[in-house]
A and B are shown apart, each in its own frame.
Chain A
């Protein structure tokens, strides 16, 4: 059975304090791994798609990487506006387009 596990559940950072979020997955065949951020009371906002091990993508202070077993979302010198819940989701050869989400990591960045 496909599984997606995110850690930690919650992360509290000082502004400027870089950190990484983890998304580990056990799937039959990965078609794509997606990162989203979700603010309270809103829908998820697309950040990145990663397709193969070794792939990296960057956007402002965020960088996503992918290995055969896990993905990391690195937040460099975070600002308070980076506070959100970060969700990882996988599309697999079993699900074909249906995303399976992890439970999310809630990030709070304090000034």
Chain B
């Protein structure tokens, strides 16, 4: 089956620093990847759609200057949380969509901002 990886799986950072999360599709190419955020006991909330070679599309209420997304290749998208604050602490999950339009999800990244 299709495999998507995320790195790192856990990160702890100080308030005001930036954190980069990588999402890779390991065995297929993905022109479109998605970034989600999940709060405890809640379902997934779509943050943005990342298209290879073009600017990301952000959902309403998501600050594009805080959550920088880059999709430089057909197998890699990155999410950078800039000037992180404790309220940005969350579980971030990426997905990659294959040619059949099925989204395969990464294992997630737990971000804790102190």
Contact = CB atoms under 8 A, between A and B. Distances in A.
Contacts, number: 49
A22 interface: no
Contacts of A34: 102-103
A69 to B, nearest CB: 20
A104 B43 contact: yes
B102 A46 contact: yes
A91 B46 contact: no
Interface residues of B, number: 25
> Which of B1, B32, B49, B101 has most chain A Cβ within 10 Å?
B101
A41 B110 contact: yes
The range of chain A's interface size is 20 to 34
> Which of B43, B103, B107 has most chain A Cβ within 10 Å?
B43
A69 B21 CA distance: 38
Given A41-B110, A99-B103, A104-B43, 15 more contacts: A31-B101, A34-B103, A36-B105, A41-B108, A43-B95, A43-B106, A43-B108, A44-B93, A46-B102, A46-B105, A49-B102, A91-B101, A97-B49, A101-B44, A103-B43
